[in-house]
Structure 1
Amino acid sequence: MLVHKLATFVKNASYSDLSDEAKKQLKIRLLDSLGTAIGAFEGPPVEAIREMLEDFGGSEMSTLIGGGKTTPDRAALYNSGLVRYLDFNDSYLAKGETCHPSDNIGSILAAGETTELSGKDFMTALAVAYQVQCRLSDEAPVRDKGFDHTTQGSYAVAAGVSKALGLDEEKTANAISIAGTALNALRVTRTGALSNWKGLAYPHTAFGGTHAAMLAKYGITGPPAVFEGNKGFMDSIAGQFSIDWQSEDLERVTDTIIKKYNAEIHSQSSIEGMIELKEKHGFSADEVDKIEIEIFDVAYHIIGGGEEGDKTIVRTKEEADHSLQYMVSAALLDGQVMPEQYEKDRIEADDIQALLKKVKVSPKQEYSDRFPDEMPTKIKVHLKNGKTHSLEKSDYEGFHTRPMSWETIIQKFEGLAEPYTTKELRNQIVDMVQHFEEYSVSDLMNLLSNIKKQQ
């Protein structure tokens, strides 16, 4: 059975299999994700989940960011919600799918704390989750079938958590098959009027995948033909595909990309381009008559007004960070796109609501052909005085062709974490992550328990 071949890959994965570059990139993504998590500490949806968990209680096994403990699956839900809420964590671009593999971090931390997981073994488990999710995104995309990218994530969470728990091959196979059978999510999460669920769909998968691994640990079995069986994943959703897990490595993390701006991943080069145009030519939003953006088809359909709805209707944070029209307007008006651009008053302000309606987005086949190896875009700004300014880009700082340095990642972490940490605590977190092979998951969670609003 295919699930057993995947389970063998998970069980055999070793820290020694990781290249030095993969180790570096795993640490960078851990720090990047901790920054996005800490920066989301007061996000209303995650505050609601925190209130729910406090009402529920539970065995104190896994630490919540900000203090307190609960069961591993509930900790996975909450901590993953923090990582995901700002929509500022990393991404992986496949031809037919886009996912955010750092969504797996909360689950592996929660499970790893229960086993006193070392930093080395954490990185191995995280690399496994990255590899599984990214390779399934490559070979078994589900977006065009009406399913969400969290569908492949269910296999990744279960694989990574199984590795963190030290499950044998049989129990790992059961964990993966339970999660893969149970957690097939609909793409309506990201179409039309967007809700809190856009940011919580993967945290829910994190909860479910962690729970599935725990069930398997205690002896619960799952459908062994989850991939190739009658009404299984291939038959019902993905269609036929092939991955030779025996020949897979743990290097896919090096192909993932990091967000420079607090915005949907496919918008990054357009936002950077708008800021560069404004800085070069010095025009203001009041001078703009029209903005034309040509972009690849995936971006057009997800954030430009194609298949997934009118992106000039922006009322909430969830709609704003999935509207290219809004994000480019914010970049022109404010010179940045960060969490403050998604505050209610900013979203509803007359200047940005008026400007976003002047942004016209269209797909360009040449750009679609170049994606995902590039993130091409062309921006043309028409001014009321008849002048035009244009710029074409193929990537942005954070794309795999222009990777972010440690210094830039630390700067991003500092900016997001500062309201909820002391300088001493930030320095301790950065140092621990940079040398995580010398520490344990429990060491890191002890630091993260000290997150709180600074006076």
Structure 2
Amino acid sequence: MNAINDIQAGEIQAGKGLTRALAEQARTLRFEDISAEARLWARQCVLDAIGCTIAGASDALVDILLAEMREQGGAERATVIGHAGKLPAPSAAIVNGAASHALDFDDVNLAMPGHPSVAILPALLALAEERGASGAAVLTAFVAGYELQCRVGKVVAPGHYDGLGFHATATIGSFGAAAACAHLMGLDAETFATALGIAGTQAAGLKSMFGTMCKPLHAGKASYHGYMAAKLAARGFTSRTDVLECGQGFARTHSPDFNPDRAFDAPPNGWYVCNNLFKYHASCYMTHAPIEAARKLREQHGIVPAEIEAIEVQVEEACDRICNIPQPRTGLEAKFSLRLTTAMGLAGVDTSRLATYSEAVAADPELVGLRDKVSFDFRTGIPNTFSAITLRMRNGSAVSAEHDSGKPATDAVAQGKRLEQKFAALVDPVLGADKAARLIVEIGRLETLPDLRGLMALCGA
């Protein structure tokens, strides 16, 4: 790998020079280096993230953040997606970042593990709008940040997320956003590594906040941290350039599993971005496999909820700490309830609809009855994207189904069509069908755009 030609493999395995090597790999990425397939996946990530941001822009948590950022004031240079007017670029990054994750409907990559695009894109769009950057420059910077954050995620897996309870979208995402912004700014090797150090010392976010407004805030803060890290580094702000591997650095303080050699694993399909997982249920990704298994049972066996005696759900034990709110009361809590989302799948509730996740649905007597029939078989050694469900029926019979939601699509073109349908469903009610269709076209030709002025104008209210 070119980025580590000057560093001995043994040194990387010991952790020496890791931050600089990752920075150099990201810094030297050029548009021509990115395969056509990876560019397609990257555009799909942009489309999906912008769609989720537009749909999430009216959430109450966004209104609170927007009011605060407007009160703080500053030079209005970046679009507030789904709203009228502009904000200072770092303020737009935090507001748009929170909006993009407000619905928990945005993409996932298990290498982090977390939500990659919403940590990077809000900062990158704000910076690009501020600097008048081209679409090709933005796409290249996005991929550079995406690949780096997945590699950082591999370095601290699994203990960072699974064991200690850090929300990788916030922590690992700060590095991805910093790398993307540093790339767009064309920072030199020393300054690029410094930006990662500044990002690393800001990185924070707890899984214990799932089900509250703080979880979407994590995406906004990752974008904000990344933007500020690159800008401060460019101004001469100092930091260590070995933040990942140094004593009391990010890896050793944030994970019991520091694995520097994993940083340069070859990802399946050649690029981490080509392993992106898109969400078609508006809930925590760990609930998707049980939902899909439940839907299979309903469709294949004509299941009638009233005839179910018991529901046995097998999932990986980490799901118990991620999305097992037993008696959700709010729509936000419902997104993190394995019991309730499984019940929704069995009852035929449309889990792709944003309105599904509400206080009324969480309190629906039929769903609550099904929810309370769920018991868990928590396993170790299976993917946390896998689930098997067995239904025990009142007549004494039993039926089972399973699903793994951790496998990337094999047909990117078909995936693109499905994402356009999702985008239209999210954006049409907010901006209208005409604007939504124009946005799909603009994002589809992102790398040909001389700047993002037209694209961002379409994103505003």
State whether structure 2 residue 378 is matched by structure 1 residue 363.
yes
Deviations 1:258-291 (A, max 9, x none): 1121121122222122122212222332222221
2: CA distance, partners of 1:134 / 1:413:
25
2:332 equivalent among 318, 321, 342: 318
Report if the CA contact (8 A) 2:177-2:227 is conserved: yes
SS at match of 1:290: strand
Match of 1:302 in 2: 322
The match for 2:227 among 195, 210, 215 is 210
User: Following TM superposition, by how much is the alpha carbon of 1:438 offset from its aligned partner in structure 2, in angstroms?
Assistant: 1.3
Structure 1 residues 293 and 79: CA distance shift in structure 2, 3 A: same
Separation (CA, whole Å) in 1 of partners of 2:332 and 2:20: 38
The residue type paired with residue 366 of structure 2 is D
8 Å CA contact 2:27, 2:144 repeated in 1: no
Aligned CA distance change for structure 1 residues 80 and 399 (closer, same or farther; 3 Å): same
Of 239, 259, 262, the residue aligned with 2:279 is: 259
Q: Is the Cα–Cα contact under 8 Å of residues 112 and 165 in structure 1 kept in the other structure?
A: no
Alpha carbons 2:312, 2:374 under 8 Å: kept: yes
- Give the number of equivalent residue pairs: 433
1:153 aligns with 2:169: no
After superposition, the C-alpha distances for 1:326-360 in whole angstroms (9 at most, x for unaligned) are: 11112223432131121222222222223211111
Instruction: Give the root-mean-square deviation of aligned CA atoms.
Output: 2.3
- 1:137 Cα offset (Å): 1.5
Kept in 2: contact 1:395–1:401 (CA 8 A): no
Spell out the pairing of 1:65-104 with structure 2 (5 A cutoff): 65=81, 66-94=83-111, 98-103=113-118, 104=120
Q: Which secondary structure does the structure 1 equivalent of 2:58 belong to?
A: coil
Question: Which among 332, 353, 356 is matched to residue 341 of structure 1?
Answer: 356
TM-score (norm 2): 0.88
Q: Distance in 2 between matches of 1:395 and 1:280?
A: 19
Compute the TM-score of the two structures, normalised by the length of structure 1: 0.89
Q: Which residue pairs with 1:286 in the alignment?
A: 306
Partners of 2:408 and 2:288 lie apart in 1 by 9
Distance across 2 between alignment mates of 1:220 and 1:137: 25
Q: Which runs of 5+ in 2 are unaligned?
A: 1-16
Q: Indicate conservation of the 8 Å contact 2:151/2:262, yes or no.
A: no
1:360-392 residue CA offsets vs partner (Å, 9 max, x unmatched)? 122234xx34x27xx432111223333332212
1:432 is matched with 442
Aligned to 1:220: 237
Q: Is 2:252 aligned against 1:241? A: no
Q: Partners of 1:441 and 1:53 in 2: how far apart?
A: 23
Cα-to-partner distance string for 1:13-61 (whole Å, 9 max, x where unaligned): 1111111110000111111111211221221111211222222222111
Which residue identity lines up with residue 448 of structure 1 in the other structure?
C
Q: Which moved more, 1:338-347 or 1:234-243?
A: 234-243
Query: How far 1:412 moved relative to its partner?
Result: 0.6
Q: Any gaps of 5 or more consecutive residues in structure 1?
A: 306-310
Correspondence 1:50-61 to 2 at 5 A: 50-61=66-77
Deviation at 1:321, TM superposition (A): 0.9
Shift of 1:166: 2.4
Contact 1:3 1:173 in 2 (8 A): yes
Q: Deviations for 1:185-240, whole angstroms, at most 9, x for unmatched residues? A: 334333xxx32112211211211221222211222111233223232123322353
What's the CA shift string for 1:108-129, capped at 9, x where partnerless? 1111111211111111111111
**CA distance in structure 1 between the aligned counterparts of 2:276 and 2:143, rounded to whole angstroms:** 12
The letter for the 1-side match of 2:368 is: Q
> Would the alpha carbon gap of residues 235 and 395 (structure 1) be closer, same or farther in structure 2, given more than 3 Å must change?
closer
Shift of 1:138: 1.7
Q: Hey, what does 2:457 align to over in structure 1? A: 446
Residue number in structure 1 paired with 2:6: none
